[in-house]
Chain A
Amino acid sequence: MSIKIALAGNPNTGKTTLFNALTGTSQYVGNWPGVTVEKKGGTLKGHRDVEIMDLPGVYSLSPYTLEEVVARNYLVTERPDAILNIIDGTNLERNLYLTTQLMELGIPVVAAVNMMDVVRKNGDKLDTKKLSDTLGCPVTEISAIKGEGVMEAAEKAVEAAGKAAVPPPHRFNGTVEHALAHIEELVLHNLPETQQRWYAVKLFERDEKVIQQLALAPDKIAHIEGDIKACEDELDDDAESIITAERYNWIGSIIGKCCRRRSQGKLTVSDKIDQIVTNRILALPIFVIVMGLVYAISMGGWAISIGTAATDWANDVLFGEWVPGLFDTILGAAGIAEESWLYGLIQDGIVAGVGAVLGFVPQMLVLFLLLCILEDVGYMARIAFIMDRIFRRFGLSGKSFIPMLVATGCGVPGIMASRTIEQDRDRKMTIMTTGFMPCGAKMPIVGLFAGALFGGSWLVATSAYFIGIAAVIISGVMLKKFKMFAGEPAPFVMELPAYHVPNPSNVLRGTWERGWSFIKRAGTVILLSSIVLWFLQGYGFVDGVFGAVEDNNDSILAAIGNAAAWIFYPLGWKGDMAWKATVASVTGLIAKENVVDTFGVLYHYAGDIDLIEDSTPLWSMVAADFSAITAYSFMIFNLLCAPCFAAMGAIKREMNNTKWTLGAIGYMCGFAYAAAMVVYQIGGLITGEAAFSVFTVIAFALLLGLIYLVFRPYRESTASRLNERSVARA
């Protein structure tokens, strides 16, 4: 690679969309700020010698967040040949703040004003020629989402890469310039001239990282401090604020010259929608209705529930008739007898197990499609904003909800996403609670029980989502009252992207990639698990002799399951289903899809029903073993208990501490157990299914304990509210 071009800009300005358009790659494009948390490289289409680097979105080059560290380190230490600065044309003022800093790096900059289609639609006018003259760098108009002007912008950046950087046109107040000149002369004269200004400004701002990097002697630092102090005294402000204000003053003057806004002061369509969608009273009911609709369409039993209709077909026809029929033909042609172990392994183990999981792919795809549309439209970012209000009440910020949104796809990236939370206690609490969200792998469990016992009711799937959120909130309220988690939440600042029509390629790509992960796991982990499960439930000791068993209640798996089933007795897992439910919950730790896989193998093998002849044997057999209340208890336990091993590994990596890891997993299991026990014992008492026993007393005690912990006064927050009131009175 001979030319390196960095894509830099504010969060959610379309850098990754532009990156994909320029390189032909398909990196994940999300419609909330902070999707890209690390740099990614690619080759410019038609220019094999040009490398494009997509940097995380940043508002400034101050090292406050992980994204800013990544972007700044790359720009300052690796120094690309040119910077293609993506500017959101609908919000020039804030975007140009970063541009003024990029211009000081001594690297050629090309400004690409994105979302020009929206600017024109709003009736605003932008004179890019004048903007270019004022900024002193080429300025080009683009629409990354429509692919307009993107290659021209890249060509300009390639052209600029061969030229020397233009000195930044912006000059600060005379006093500041004097101090900067002094700093340059004192400690920066050995650096290339083009780089001196950026370092001087950063030293003026007392940037600790830069002071460390330059390894300045204490006497020089003291000298610089004297200059800064004199400047601060004269301008009656702190150094960082002086620089910020000066930059914004200059930007204001540029915008006055180059931009005419017809929509100035008017509410945009997004603003008008947000008045309803993020309304203090309406926001939550709208959120519940939206998510209810999402789960109803993907997993409900309505006429519009296309996910369920497709899954029914996949279960009944594809994996109920066609696939077993196909294998039957192939195995028959190969001369493999139906009574042989090989036939059993393939049909009763692999086809039944993997098929049981793959049968839910249509529901998953519809669910992922709807979630991707909500994300691309811009609604998911609003949910984080809405949840911030609720989360803040118990000491977590809306930033903690971003990992939870991600976790609805897969828990592992959800847990990883928590590392963007700066406060250690909030990060730990987010890691502990993110696993409560129903990830894609848990949804087949919901689909199975909703179909088998609740007539495909949309309420079951929707309740799974809100049980996850409720578990997060209840845990947050309780944990914040313990010393190790106490403290005020970090401020959450998030720019809400403008609503737009979903981009079909983004939505379809996101849906397919999430769905493909699900399918790939079925072909790897689930396939291996099916084989092991088939063996363990098909073989055992009968009358002291090891061999294939007629009834899988005599199998090795049944023996193992029965040995541990007593643990779950208070949850209502009794009788023949007890060991099956126990084994399914344990195998679910390998991968959550394994729960359905296990039922697929166990019920297929145990049944007299032939898959090929009866279209829905799994559902009917599950329905025969479980009651509505035990099914719900089982579902709640498996939704809330320890996540899969991969997610546990992610918890271990992020916690970086064995005690915290075990604590987090133990807490999740304990919470899940308590919740499932309360549901079965109290629910069973009401329905008459469970008799009053010592476990009922324990369940009531747990419920009361939970209520006490939730409503126990929170000293810090009380103190904080009192302080706020006293400040308000003052």
Chain B
Amino acid sequence: MLAYIAAHMGYIVVTLILVLTVAAVIFGMVKDHKTGSSGCGCGCKGCANAPYCHPYCHPQKDAEASKLT
């Protein structure tokens, strides 16, 4: 068993890095989705046009908008 692991150490490490990267990406996307901080998959913080989407980031704007209509 140990000999197998030692022989395939490169595969195991690279696969592990890949799995962790993918998990981190999925976790980040799910977190963004749950917190409502992203309407387009890239987050409001780095978005130049975030003010236009802020109703989605900040639900209180929806309430303000509904007061208007």
Identify the A interface with B (CB < 8 A): 27-28, 35-38, 40, 63, 65-66, 69-70, 73, 331, 333-336, 340, 342, 345-346, 403, 406, 409-414, 416-417, 419, 509-510, 513-514, 516-517, 520-521, 523-525, 527-528, 531, 591, 644, 646-647, 649-650, 653
In chain B, residues 2-42, which have Cβ atoms closer than 8 Å to a Cβ of chain A?
A: 9-11, 13-15, 18, 21-22, 25-26, 28-29, 39-42
Q: Please, which residues of chain B bring their CB within 8 A of the CB of A336? A: 10-11, 14
User: Cβ of A66 and Cβ of B64 under 8 Å apart?
Assistant: yes
- A516 to B10: give the CA distance in the assembly, Å: 32
Please tell me which one of the listed residues A27, A40, A70, A523 contacts residue B64 in the complex, with CB atoms under 8 A apart. A70
- A414 to B47: give the CA distance in the assembly, Å: 12
Please tell me which one of the listed residues A69, A335, A410, A653 contacts residue B49 in the complex, with CB atoms under 8 A apart. A410
Indicate if B48 sits at the interface (CB-CB under 8 A).
Answer: yes
Residue in A closest to B47 when the chains form the complex, CB atoms: A517
Identify the B interface with A (CB < 8 A): 9-11, 13-15, 18, 21-22, 25-26, 28-29, 39-43, 46-56, 58, 61, 64-65, 67-68
- A520 to B32: give the CA distance in the assembly, Å: 13
- A63 to B25: give the CA distance in the assembly, Å: 43
- A406 to B47: give the CA distance in the assembly, Å: 12
Other A-B pairs, 12, CB within 8 Å; known A63-B68, A409-B49: A73-B64, A73-B67, A331-B10, A336-B10, A340-B11, A514-B49, A516-B46, A524-B25, A524-B29, A531-B22, A650-B39, A650-B56
Q: Please, which residues of chain B bring their CB within 8 A of the CB of A514? A: 47-49
Chain A binding site: helix, strand, loop or mixed by DSSP?
A: helix
Q: Please, which residues of chain B bring their CB within 8 A of the CB of A40? A: 51
Given that A336-B11, A412-B53 are contacting pairs, would A517 and B18 also be in contact in the complex, using a CB cutoff of 8 Å? no
Write the nearest CB–CB distance from A36 to chain B, whole angstroms.
6
Q: Please, which residues of chain B bring their CB within 8 A of the CB of A419? A: 55, 65
Write the nearest CB–CB distance from B17 to chain A, whole angstroms.
10
- A40 to B58: give the CA distance in the assembly, Å: 11
User: Cβ of B48 and Cβ of A646 under 8 Å apart?
Assistant: no
Residue in B closest to A419 when the chains form the complex, CB atoms: B65
Given that A331-B14, A524-B29 are contacting pairs, would A28 and B64 also be in contact in the complex, using a CB cutoff of 8 Å? no
Given that A531-B22, A646-B41 are contacting pairs, would A28 and B61 also be in contact in the complex, using a CB cutoff of 8 Å? no
Q: Please, which residues of chain B bring their CB within 8 A of the CB of A346? A: 14, 18
Write the nearest CB–CB distance from A15 to chain B, whole angstroms.
12
Given that A336-B10, A410-B40, A646-B40 are contacting pairs, would A38 and B61 also be in contact in the complex, using a CB cutoff of 8 Å? yes
Residue in B closest to A28 when the chains form the complex, CB atoms: B48
Q: Please, which residues of chain A bring their CB within 8 A of the CB of B13? A: 334
Please tell me which one of the listed residues B10, B26, B28 contacts residue A335 in the complex, with CB atoms under 8 A apart. B10
Chain B binding site: helix, strand, loop or mixed by DSSP?
A: helix
User: Cβ of A517 and Cβ of B46 under 8 Å apart?
Assistant: yes
User: Cβ of A334 and Cβ of B10 under 8 Å apart?
Assistant: yes
Q: Please, which residues of chain A bring their CB within 8 A of the CB of B49? A: 28, 406, 409-410, 413-414, 417, 514
Write the nearest CB–CB distance from A71 to chain B, whole angstroms.
10
Given that A513-B48, A646-B40 are contacting pairs, would A528 and B11 also be in contact in the complex, using a CB cutoff of 8 Å? no
Given that A406-B49, A517-B46 are contacting pairs, would A69 and B68 also be in contact in the complex, using a CB cutoff of 8 Å? yes
Given that A342-B15, A524-B29 are contacting pairs, would A37 and B39 also be in contact in the complex, using a CB cutoff of 8 Å? no
Question: What are the 10 tightest A-B residue pairs by CB atom distance, in nearest-first order?
Answer: A334-B10, A413-B49, A413-B52, A412-B40, A335-B10, A513-B48, A646-B40, A517-B42, A417-B52, A416-B52
Write the nearest CB–CB distance from B3 to chain A, whole angstroms.
14
Q: Please, which residues of chain A bring their CB within 8 A of the CB of B55? A: 38, 416, 419
User: Cβ of A527 and Cβ of B64 under 8 Å apart?
Assistant: no
Residue in A closest to B48 when the chains form the complex, CB atoms: A513
User: Cβ of A523 and Cβ of B10 under 8 Å apart?
Assistant: no
Q: Please, which residues of chain A bring their CB within 8 A of the CB of B58? A: 38
Given that A524-B41, A591-B41 are contacting pairs, would A37 and B14 also be in contact in the complex, using a CB cutoff of 8 Å? no
Q: Please, which residues of chain A bring their CB within 8 A of the CB of B29? A: 524-525
User: Cβ of A38 and Cβ of B54 under 8 Å apart?
Assistant: yes
- A63 to B67: give the CA distance in the assembly, Å: 10
Residue in B closest to A402 when the chains form the complex, CB atoms: B52
User: Cβ of A66 and Cβ of B41 under 8 Å apart?
Assistant: no
Write the nearest CB–CB distance from A152 to chain B, whole angstroms.
28
- A531 to B29: give the CA distance in the assembly, Å: 16
Q: Please, which residues of chain B bring their CB within 8 A of the CB of A591? A: 41
Given that A66-B64, A66-B68, A650-B39 are contacting pairs, would A36 and B51 also be in contact in the complex, using a CB cutoff of 8 Å? yes
